[in-house]
Structure 1
């Protein structure tokens, strides 16, 4: 879905971009395919006044005891993070969002359903897409903090400020693109097995090399006894390619031949 295809002209500007920040729950299927749950969404009454988008790079700074300072060595790029705060208001001073409740408590319940409440099938918090103007961010909630102010005589809140933080969630296809930086096979990295994956398919996807020697290196690095017995969700270490390390896996050998009778060609032995 592109910006120009977003429904609701009252929530988009002349260029089709969202006037209000929109949070939509989504699911990730096999192979990393994303499916938006358009009916499970939350649109802000008031846009954030500030928006923080962080990028981090991890380094290995481990050094031996007593050694001089060690030059930091690149380890991995860490997930991006986005954080901001929004205000919910039921005083009548701010226009309600069409199709959403006006009461602060009900708005918080809807927001929680989109970003926080556990998804039954997965048993974990949902994935969320953030969309606002030119921003598009796929991630999951890291933290949610609510501060209430202004109350009705019965104690119901009339206004609340909610601080939200999200961590980026990449699909497997995006992870493979990121791993192309290591396509020279000079860096150790990891890969997550999908349903039906084998060591051969992992090597083909991540290393562009599914030779038996490369499969054996990956199997050795992960203490695998089989090249095909992988479970969905298993995380495999993909070691740097090396031609020096001997593998515990023996390369396939040709079938032995039985002595042939006089005048008859040799025949392969039955196994």
Structure 2
């Protein structure tokens, strides 16, 4: 089975503001990444009594996720420009390409006192972030030493502004009404625990939803979970 559709290039879009408005530029890659890694991490505190043989790990926080990928810069003329007239080849090899990319993702922006806020956009992949690390590996040169090809390995740190973080926290608050769709393996006590942090209100939730048998939840059923203070009131 083949894949249909036109080729879509990855874009790196830079912004001045943390709410990702005020675009200041974008870079369209010459060659799409062969792969990228998206890493999620949970931090724990190691708690161990002096002299004990083992300890326990207590949850600390969930740090921002990271994306790592490699981009290729080519000034040989073998790889066509991703958009007509976007970046003509020059006697400087890949110098213009690299300079434009670094200006967007790495260079200090005096207006915001840090490098730019970034979006990595490629098909259904959209990642809001800031650059954490950039490593350039030059692999092909003119006889005079001018670089013609390079591989840039970038590590990008996920970024959410304070408004978005507040909204996410509020959406998970037990003091709000929630609607959830039953998935395979769900039980009412388990769904209550996910929302309220305790399974205790499951009988009240069953009553609110007029469930004849809370032990037999049909997959696809939408259930209402009222605010915790009302459920336990």
TM-score range, shorter chain: 0.5 to 0.7
Q: For residues 139-150 of structure 1, what are the structure 2 equivalents within 5 Å?
A: 139-150=129-140
Structure 2 equivalent of residue 24 of structure 1:
13
Moved more, 156-165 or 64-73: 64-73
Aligned residues of 1:91 and 1:158 also touching (Cα < 8 A): yes
Q: How many residues align?
A: 167
Query: Where do 4+ consecutive residues of structure 1 move more than 6 Å?
Result: none
Match of 1:163 among 145, 149, 153: 153
Counterparts of 2:142 and 2:65 in 1: how far apart (Å)?
39
Q: Deviations over 1:117-143 (max 9, x none)?
A: 001112211111100010000001011
Counterparts of 1:14 and 1:182 in 2: how far apart (Å)?
38
Q: For residues 172-183 of structure 1, what are the structure 2 equivalents within 5 Å?
A: 172-180=162-170, 183=173
Structure 2 equivalent of residue 124 of structure 1:
114
Aligned residues of 2:20 and 2:117 also touching (Cα < 8 A): no
Q: Deviations over 1:133-179 (max 9, x none)?
A: 10000001011111112211221111111111100011112211443
Aligned residues of 1:101 and 1:107 also touching (Cα < 8 A): no
Counterparts of 2:5 and 2:21 in 1: how far apart (Å)?
27
Counterparts of 1:158 and 1:28 in 2: how far apart (Å)?
34
Unaligned runs of 5+ in 2: 176-233
Structure 1 equivalent of residue 21 of structure 2:
35
SS at match of 2:114: coil
Q: TM-score, normalised by structure 1?
A: 0.56
SS at match of 2:103: helix
Match status 1:97 vs 2:86? no
SS at match of 2:113: coil
Counterparts of 2:101 and 2:13 in 1: how far apart (Å)?
10
Structure 2 equivalent of residue 261 of structure 1:
none
Q: Quickly say closer, same or farther: Cα 1:101–1:169, change in 2 above 3 A.
A: farther
Counterparts of 2:150 and 2:128 in 1: how far apart (Å)?
25
Structure 2 equivalent of residue 78 of structure 1:
63
Match of 1:55 among 28, 40, 58: 40
Counterparts of 2:108 and 2:22 in 1: how far apart (Å)?
16
Aligned residues of 1:141 and 1:167 also touching (Cα < 8 A): yes
Unaligned runs of 5+ in 1: 1-12, 186-271
Match status 1:153 vs 2:139? no
Structure 2 equivalent of residue 208 of structure 1:
none
Q: Quickly say closer, same or farther: Cα 1:36–1:162, change in 2 above 3 A.
A: same
Q: Deviations over 1:21-54 (max 9, x none)?
A: 100111325xxx32041x5111110011111000
Greater RCO, CA 8 A, separation 6+:
2
Counterparts of 1:177 and 1:94 in 2: how far apart (Å)?
44
Structure 1 equivalent of residue 180 of structure 2:
none
